[in-house]
Amino acid sequence: MDWSIVPNLGQILEDLRLEVVAYTHKDFLPTENILTEIFKKCCSSLGLVKRLNPFLQLIIGAVVFSFWILLALKLFQSITIPCYASGERMDDKTVLITGSNRGRGLEVARELASRGARIILACRNMQRGEEAMKFIRKTANTTRLSLAKIDFSDMMSIRNLAHQVLSNETRLDVLICNGSVSLDRLYRTETGVEVHLATNYLGFFLLSNLLLSLLSSSDGRILLPAGQDLWSADLEIDNLNSELRFNKKTVFANSQLANLLFTRQLAVRCAAAKIPVAVNCYDIGKQRTSFNWFSATREHNAVENMVHLAVSKDGKETSGNYFTGCKIAKVSERASDSALAEKLWNFSTFFTNLQEEESIF
Ligand SMILES: NC(=O)c1ccc[n+]([C@@H]2O[C@H](COP(=O)([O-])OP(=O)(O)OC[C@H]3O[C@@H](n4cnc5c(N)ncnc54)[C@H](OP(=O)(O)O)[C@@H]3O)[C@@H](O)[C@H]2O)c1
């Protein structure tokens, strides 16, 4: 083997590193140019290792090739998923965000706070909530923050939060229902509700209904979460509370499909009752992986999408839609089945014990 090539390997890696830095800092590159560039770089990088033995050539070739493919995917992702870059302010607005002590919820809270909104962080754990508040205070340079407790697995806690907001707030412009769980086995709340159903859907149903009158007086918006991986959803009303059987993939997917159906149904009801509240669903993105580079991009896009819905005209002028990448996306036939949505509404009213006097309809 000719070891004189070894110093060149360091150079190749450094060249590649610099290319990544250069590409990831460019705002836009036409796809054709990117592909041509990638092809050229692959060829020239491979040319330099020609003098190594064939096995090493193969390994280095495969590594370099995979590297460029990943870079191309990353660039493609950033070009095809638009960012919400508008600088609209929210100075006179009040926003309530649940599950806002970490992840997407925290990022959206920080972004809206930096646009001037007053933020009510509704968190399950008050200590984690305090830390989140400190972080936002520092990074968004604002003091217009307050903290409230909510535990979606406890209907009483949801009613308490709603009561507190209705008694203390004069307006509520945006309600962002956020926060979910994905568990490996069957757990039930104290009142016997399966935990995915309670936390990822029923809690949002109850909180949205309880706060609808206040939102309505400020021409408000409701944002609800939904994932795209719905293939395992069956939404059998008879087994929605996992009384007949339990499957962890199905219960998570069911909770996401339920949010899509609820969004449409609530939008239809608001339109029929002339309640000026826009209700839309945002894409929660894919499940996080340990491959941080892409996970971070997905998380960032999910945040952009939520900010877009909370701030833009789109988020006010359309209702009953599902947004991904700051655009309306089509949903499956099942997610637009009005008969199923009506059944789900009745089921949810029963399970949350939503009283007539609590509901605006
Ligand atoms: N497509 C998919 O299949 C898919 C996509 C995305 C996420 N997931 C799964 O969903 C789970 C959550 O995802 P994520 O980390 O992105 O979370 P997330 O939706 O951002 O939710 C996390 C937030 O929800 C809060 N929360 C959790 N349970 C709560 C409750 N009972 N009451 C009030 N707040 C509650 C958390 O508070 P604490 O800090 O107190 O826990 C945290 O603030 C993960 O297991 C993830 O793998 C699946």
Q: How does pLDDT run across 39-79, given as a tens digit for each residue?
A: 666 666 656 666 677 787 778 778 888 888 888 877 776 66
CB-side exposure of 74: number of CA atoms within 13 Å?
22
The answer to which of 13-17, 263-267, 301-305 has the lowest mean pLDDT is 13-17
Nearest CA to ligand 1 atom 42: 99
CA distance 147 to 128: 10
Percent of the chain with pLDDT over 90: 66
Query: What integer is the mean pLDDT of 243-270?
Result: 96
Q: Break the chain into its structural domains and give their ranges.
A: 3-80, 94-358
Q: How many CB atoms lie within 10 A of CB 219?
A: 13
Q: Residue 18, class by beta-carbon neighbours within 10 Å (0-12 exposed, 13-18 middle, 19+ buried)?
A: exposed
CA distance 276 to 342: 21
- Pocket test of ligand 1: the residue of 121, 123, 181 to mutate, having most ligand atoms within 8 Å of its CB, is 181
> Which residues have C-beta atoms less than 6 Å from ligand 1?
99, 101-105, 124-125, 128, 150-153, 178-182, 199, 227, 229, 252, 284-288
200, 260 Cβ separation under 8 angstroms: no
β-strands 221-226, 174-176 pairing: parallel
Q: Residue 302 Cα, ligand 1 centroid: separation in angstroms?
A: 14
Class of 94-358 in CATH: alpha beta
Q: Which is more confident, 94 or 83?
A: 94
Nearest CA to ligand 1 atom 13: 180
Nearest CA to ligand 1 atom 18: 179
CB-side exposure of 174: number of CA atoms within 13 Å?
31
Nearest CA to ligand 1 atom 6: 287
Ligand 1 atom nearest the C-alpha of 182 is 45
Q: Residue 181 Cα, ligand 1 centroid: separation in angstroms?
A: 4
- Specify the pTM: 0.81
| Predicted confidence (pLDDT) at residue 279 exceeds the cutoff of 80 | yes
pLDDT score recorded for residue 59: 82
pLDDT score recorded for residue 77: 63
Query: What integer is the mean pLDDT of 228-257?
Result: 92
Q: Residue 230 has which token pair? A: 């719905």
CA distance 179 to 161: 16
Q: Pick left, alpha or beta for residue 321 (phi over 0 → left; psi -120 to 50 → alpha; otherwise beta).
A: beta
